[in-house]
Amino acid sequence: MASPSRVTVTQREQSMVEREVGRIYSLFAQLPPAALSFSMEIQRDSHIEYLTNGLRRLAPSFGALDASRPWLCYWIIHSLALLGEPVDAELEDNVIDFLRRCQDPSGGYGGGPGQLPHLATTYAAVNSLITLGGSRSLSSINRDKVYNFLRQMKQPSGGFRMHDGGEIDVRACYTALSVASILNILDDELAGNVGDFILSCQTYEGGIAGEPGSEAHGGYTFCGLATMILIDEADRLDLSRLIDWVVFRQGVECGFQGRANKLVDGCYSFWQGGACALLQKLRPFGLSEGGDESADSINSSLSAASNLSEQENNLESASPQVDGACQFKQAGPQSASCSVNLGNTSYNFLERRTEVGSLFNSLALQQYILLCSQLPEGGFRDKPGKSRDFYHTCYCLSGLTVCQYSWSKSADSAALPWAVVGPSSNLVESIHPLHNVVLSKYHEANEFFRKVGRDVYLQNPQSER
């Protein structure tokens, strides 16, 4: 995928979107309370029907999207998991078998059986299998081979190639390291010099570009920041400028844009909202002493960008908990092999308490997702006037969970009731924000891969589910 070139939307396009979103909001504002409450409701049954039908159609062929079938699996299965809806047993078996056939002898997963192994589809396949959970699904992943594939994609400069002969970019670094971390095979060989590559992609604006010299973009910013956390090097980024850049991407429409001077889009609810969720747990918020000269500038940009309500500001004050030099080195399950315990960074990140409330206006974003992106007949879209698709359904729902839990102090605490817009039944499952998999599924996989260890690969046991 090429990096975005800078293209600025015209004033006319921007005004059209603002007008349309404004029209929707004023229409809903005039509704009687019962009707408004219905419109604010997640149309769970319709979404489940849309998603399940999509998954059923997946097995034979997906036409133009044939090379994206592991992605379609992930977008659909993750969306269902966020809604708390299990996949039926027969369909689950079909997906596991299909993805097993996508794993190339070299170790990476292709877009379909026999297709070129690729890091993006490897990430999608692994996240899908982890989300399905159970030993049949988890043990279908040949981790030794995945490790070999990741090593093959690793470049001497530190970055990764998306596929053999493919582009070296921030997505490749993220997908490789997210997969390695969640499968408990992350080591120094994979992590070496990745931080230098990501650093070279942080731009003068503060966000992160796909490759050095390109424009900062929300998709790459999430990937770059998550990668730096996975290798325990987030402090090397200019976090102050990064926060500035990301919080100012939330617009008057209440949703996020992907980059400056572009239109709002529902999928950035996750890419930008998710980046905020990660930033919330990082310095300078976690500093307990010594101060940080950037803290004032961060606080002022936050209050300027997100017009926080009194209720939001009244979140109980934080008690900083950081042990100074080393933010993430807390107790956690041991990784099989690596000198700085890179296998623990993802787990330990979860253990960190959040020292501030939401960095963006989480209530406004939910309003955009529910009223402008949601379709009552099922599925979510980029913006009014666009059609639904599984990608936007996945990332709008992922954005919703980020909003709902953005005021919770730790990964295992419940969402605060006032943080959920609409009826309480709107609450969706929480996620591990570094991997975007449902938290309980992450824990199950973490336990499973810790037990089987790095060197033991169970030969596809068919028994337990």
Ligand X SMILES: CC(C)=CCC/C(C)=C/CC/C(C)=C/COP(=O)(O)OP(=O)(O)O
Which residues sit at the interface with ligand X, rule CB under 6 A?
1, 4, 120, 171, 174-175, 217, 219-220, 223, 258-259, 262, 265, 271
Q: Does 265 bind Zn ion (CB under 5 A)?
A: yes
> Among the candidate windows 159-167, 199-207, 261-269, 451-459, which touches Zn ion by CB under 5 A?
261-269
B/e letters for 201-222, b = 16+ CB within 10 Å, e = fewer, are bbbebbbbbbbbebbbbbbbbb
Query: Which of Zn ion, ligand X, none does residue 74 bind to, with CB < 5 to 8 Å depending on kind?
Result: none
Distance (Å, whole) CA 245 – CA 268: 14
How many Cα atoms sit within 13 Å of 456 on the Cβ side? 9
* Smallest distance, Zn ion to C-beta of residue 266, A: 6
Distance (Å, whole) CA 38 – CA 30: 13
Query: Which of ligand X, Zn ion, none does residue 171 bind to, with CB < 5 to 8 Å depending on kind?
Result: ligand X
Query: Which of Zn ion, ligand X, none does residue 4 bind to, with CB < 5 to 8 Å depending on kind?
Result: ligand X
Query: Which of ligand X, Zn ion, none does residue 382 bind to, with CB < 5 to 8 Å depending on kind?
Result: Zn ion
> Among the candidate windows 88-96, 214-222, 258-266, 277-285, which touches Zn ion by CB under 5 A?
258-266
Query: Which of ligand X, Zn ion, none does residue 175 bind to, with CB < 5 to 8 Å depending on kind?
Result: ligand X
Find, among 45, 120, 31, the residue nearest to 83 by Cα. Answer: 45
Q: Which is nearer to ligand X, 120 or 228 (CB)?
A: 120
Q: Which is nearer to Zn ion, 159 or 258 (CB)?
A: 258
Single-letter amino acid code for the residue at 40: M
Find, among 253, 249, 251, the residue nearest to 25 by Cα. Answer: 253
* Smallest distance, Zn ion to C-beta of residue 218, A: 10
Distance (Å, whole) CA 465 – CA 447: 15
Query: Which of Zn ion, ligand X, none does residue 169 bind to, with CB < 5 to 8 Å depending on kind?
Result: none
Find the binding residues for Zn ion in span 124-163 (CB under 5 A): none
Neighbours of 106 (CB within 10 A): 14
* Smallest distance, ligand X to C-beta of residue 222, A: 7
Distance (Å, whole) CA 464 – CA 96: 14
Query: Which of ligand X, Zn ion, none does residue 258 bind to, with CB < 5 to 8 Å depending on kind?
Result: ligand X
Helices (H), 248-337: 268-279, 295-305, 310-313
Residues 6+ apart with CB under 8 A from 146: 107, 108, 122, 126, 179, 180, 183, 185
Beta-bridge mates of residue 202: 208
* Smallest distance, ligand X to C-beta of residue 369, A: 16
Among 244, 382, 429, 444, binds Zn ion (CB under 5 A): 382
> Among the candidate windows 64-72, 194-202, 257-265, 428-436, which touches Zn ion by CB under 5 A?
257-265
Give counts: helices (H), strands (E), the chain.
20, 4
Cα dist. 136→76, 178, 242, 451, 452 in Å?
Answer: 20, 21, 41, 15, 13
Q: Which is nearer to Zn ion, 146 or 267 (CB)?
A: 267
Q: Does 253 bind Zn ion (CB under 5 A)?
A: no
Q: What is the contact mask toward Zn ion in residues 340 to 379, using x (rule: CB under 5 A)?
A: ----------------------------------------
Distance (Å, whole) CA 309 – CA 316: 14
Residues 6+ apart with CB under 8 A from 335: 184, 186, 187, 341, 342, 343, 344
Q: Which is nearer to ligand X, 271 or 285 (CB)?
A: 271
* Smallest distance, Zn ion to C-beta of residue 270, A: 10
Q: Does 267 bind Zn ion (CB under 5 A)?
A: yes
Q: Which is nearer to ligand X, 219 or 332 (CB)?
A: 219
Supply the residues annotated as catalytic: 217, 259, 262, 265, 267-268, 382, 389, 392
* Smallest distance, ligand X to C-beta of residue 373, A: 14
Helix axis angle for 119-132 and 170-182, nearest 10°, is: 30
Please give the residue whose beta carbon sits closest to ligand X in the complex. Answer: 219
